[in-house]
Structure 1
Amino acid sequence: MHLTAKLRTAACLAVAVAISPLALAAGPSSASPTDPVKPAAQPVDGSTNVRVDGQRIILGDAPASMGSVEVRQRSGIANLAPVRFASAASAVVVNYTAGTPDRSTAEVDVRALVKDRWTEWTPAKAGQPTALPDASDQVQLRIIVIAPPQGGSPWISDVSVQPTDKAAESRMTIQAAPLKSHVFATREGLVGGTTANGHVIASRDHFVALPSRRGLASNGSGSYTVKVCTASRCAFEPVWDVGPWNTKDDYWNPGATREMWKDLPQGKPESQAAYQNGYNGGKDQFGRTVANPAGIDLADGVFWDALKLTDNSWVDATYLWTGDGGRGTVSISSGYLNVRNSASSSGAVVGMAGKSAQVTVECQTTGQSVTGSQGTTNVWLRVHAGMYVSKAWISAGSFGAC
């Protein structure tokens, strides 16, 4: 996608890390099940361009960065340590005070640990119930502050989160199977640039961009992963950037829980509707005329190497965090893992999986013995019809036989 037709978030932006439940307090809070919990006003790993002044978390001093020729902004994120309630709750009330001078914005997002996985981030309006996808006793908050190139700096203070069972609007759901949609993919490029989570883009890199921060993984994390397939190849890649076109188009969610464009069908990007049907006057959320229907951007290694694309193309994308199912995590120090057409390292390469990405696991079989980060094993995992990876490089439990 051409630079003049892209929205790139500020280079300094990063996102919360997918902190393991083991990093949480060993026991539940001693407070009453309905008492508010006040996380320390101290950003944890993954935070960027914020400073702390007492209970205030304030946008830092990094200069504005150009996301495209039309959008410049200063931005930062503060990830707060996860908190544990005395018992599970179906919703939470997040309270905070915000200061937003000079057309700036400040928001607090929440996510929950459900079935040992973090749900996607949901904006929480101060003082109002925010539904969790399922009952959970562990949640995490993050603060996002964004401002124009000049002017005052937004801030958030006095943050607390309180479990509640009161009715909340538009509960997100975790489906039996993750959503798959047919979307137009464009090549991101921008080698040497910085993604929305602070990753510096390398040559032949492996990640994707989606047009909403709700599914943005932290740098180095695959907590939010997309499986992208053509007719003959598949790639499993972490979501490390925001774009193309929009920044609040979580089109993989149903209309009732979608952040914007609630009248569009689930799985259809706003840019596609604008380009094909003249939706929103043919413009994106920033008023720019949409020049193509792109709903996902692919880093060069995904575009050229994993999927063997030569031009922008329609693909099938599966948003793994939206559903249940067997999963494993790619455990490599850098680069990518080859996906093969048989349970052998001599099998033809039919795709790739990026560092830290999650892979779907349909079943396991025996094959060539391989030594990797997880030891030596002859177990191979089927991650898609006719596609296998060695469990020597995948952190995962055991699965049924193929």
Structure 2
Amino acid sequence: MVSARLALVSALSVLALVVGAAPAFAGTGQSEGAGDPSNTWSGELTAVGADDVNVAWSGTALRIADPAAVPAGQRSPIVGGMLVLAPHALKTPADRVRAITTAATTGVDVEVRGESAEGVWTEWAPAGTALPATVPTVQVRIVLTGASASLGAVVLVADTVPAASLAITAAGNTYRIFATREGLVGGTTANGHVIVSRDHFVALPSRRGLAPKGTGDYTVRVCTTTGARCEFAPVWDVGPWNTTDDYWNPSATRQSWKDLPQGRPEAQAAYQNGYNGGKDQFGRTVANPAGIDLADGVFWDGLQLTDNSWVDVTYLWTSSGVRGVVGSGPLNIRAGAGSSFASKGYAATYAQVPIECWVTGQSIAGPYGTTTRWDRVGPGQYVSHAYISGTTGGSAPAC
């Protein structure tokens, strides 16, 4: 641990130079400034736990644990690992976190997200990027890409700059996307989840919307194009085809392929229009236009699909309003406020479902009590509140 302490001292020395020099913030001409000194802390790189993926502390650095491991849905030969640090309560609310690294090789990315006072998380963004709002709590993750990637220490500094504008709508961004079935039972997803038979999660081709293991912080609503069946499912893997294609975001803030219209996956453009020479980011010929992978339970049970298909996807973290966390699932979505009504699909465990309002219906005994409350999660879609472990974003009104 002596080497780790020396690395931290070195990082703190760099921090002192940064604060003293007050260099310009790239692209704005604004001074970095010192910010609030109490909003400075060191990342606990030794705290590798069950929610982390393919990383280990070697005694001197954070490194890849298994150089042969590749996330299940990535469909590429790139080895990766991820350390998700515990949420950090700021002394003073801020909208940016900078990272000062020591003994960092190529292939090290530090990413940050912020949690509002109502418990809603922003998307992950590179450290140093302005978050879309001033937040009291932040979380940092370290992503290692490549078998030799390593990091000795990291110091984090939160401050405030004019925040970027984030497109938030009441309903959220919805696009018609081609879906494929992921399968890969027994494989490990990008967030460390081991895939089981008839599992309930999805994969998107960017880790900006990747939920930590065992959470639904980033949840999608996936529906058949007729709207007859829907599932709310957490984003637990990265893929298909690409890994830097957050196509649901505006072109100006999109990671890659900014010339494509919002809502158009790069793989779809490559397959349909020969974009990028018909290749994905790894140079492979794109064999289908998929922009989302569905785990088997979502594919077969939630949507009752029999083949790869076009679906309507809503990226719920781009929406506002009250959300309920499904504590026990997959939970039936009913056409009315009772178990005798037809099933309209499922809400997966950990999924965050939008609660538009609530009605009184059949009394249901569940893991979170006995109640007659039914939450409306969409037009003609209801779930029993007895299976909702908690809510974020305020309180829902009666319908």
So what's the TM-score if we normalise by structure 2? Answer: 0.83
User: Which runs of 5 or more structure 2 residues have no equivalent in the other structure?
Assistant: 1-34
Structure 2 residue identity aligned to 1:77: M
Q: 1:256 and 1:98, CA in 2 relative to 1: closer, same or farther beyond 3 A?
A: farther
- For residue 347 of structure 1, report the CA deviation from its aligned partner: 1.0
* CA distance in 2 between partners of 1:40 and 1:191 (Å): 32
Superposed CA offset, 1:327-361 (max 9, x none): 101111xx511111111111111111111111111
Q: Does 1:97 align with 2:102?
A: yes
Match of 2:25 in 1: none
* CA distance in 1 between partners of 2:371 and 2:292 (Å): 35
Match of 1:297 in 2: 293
- For residue 393 of structure 1, report the CA deviation from its aligned partner: 0.5
How do residues 329-348 of structure 1 correspond to structure 2 at under 5 angstroms? 329-332=325-328, 335-348=329-342
Match of 1:19 in 2: none
Secondary structure, counterpart of 1:369 in structure 2: strand
The 8 Å contact of residues 41 and 55 in structure 1, kept in 2 or not, is answered as no
- For residue 297 of structure 1, report the CA deviation from its aligned partner: 0.8
Q: Does 1:162 align with 2:157?
A: yes
Match of 2:52 in 1: 47
Q: 2:196 aligns with which of 191, 202, 216?
A: 202
* CA distance in 2 between partners of 1:35 and 1:241 (Å): 32
Structure 1 residue identity aligned to 2:342: A
Q: Does 1:142 align with 2:141?
A: yes
Structure 2 residue identity aligned to 1:201: I
So what's the TM-score if we normalise by structure 1? Answer: 0.83
Match of 1:308 in 2: 304
Match of 2:378 in 1: 384
Q: 1:51 and 1:236, CA in 2 relative to 1: closer, same or farther beyond 3 A?
A: same
How do residues 210-359 of structure 1 correspond to structure 2 at under 5 angstroms? 210-230=204-224, 231=226, 232-332=228-328, 335-359=329-353
Match of 1:190 in 2: 184
User: Which runs of 5 or more structure 1 residues have no equivalent in the other structure?
Assistant: 1-30
Superposed CA offset, 1:129-156 (max 9, x none): 31011001321111111215xxxx2112
Match of 2:112 in 1: 110
Q: 1:344 and 1:245, CA in 2 relative to 1: closer, same or farther beyond 3 A?
A: same
RMSD: 2.3
* CA distance in 2 between partners of 1:302 and 1:69 (Å): 18
The 8 Å contact of residues 97 and 159 in structure 2, kept in 1 or not, is answered as yes
- For residue 68 of structure 1, report the CA deviation from its aligned partner: 8.1
* CA distance in 1 between partners of 2:338 and 2:358 (Å): 13
The 8 Å contact of residues 98 and 106 in structure 1, kept in 2 or not, is answered as no
- For residue 285 of structure 1, report the CA deviation from its aligned partner: 0.6
* CA distance in 1 between partners of 2:74 and 2:230 (Å): 33
Q: 1:98 and 1:214, CA in 2 relative to 1: closer, same or farther beyond 3 A?
A: farther
Structure 1 residue identity aligned to 2:88: V
- For residue 51 of structure 1, report the CA deviation from its aligned partner: 2.4
Superposed CA offset, 1:39-73 (max 9, x none): 33333541233222456322224534485897334
Q: 1:69 and 1:165, CA in 2 relative to 1: closer, same or farther beyond 3 A?
A: closer
Secondary structure, counterpart of 1:183 in structure 2: strand
Structure 1 residue identity aligned to 2:150: W
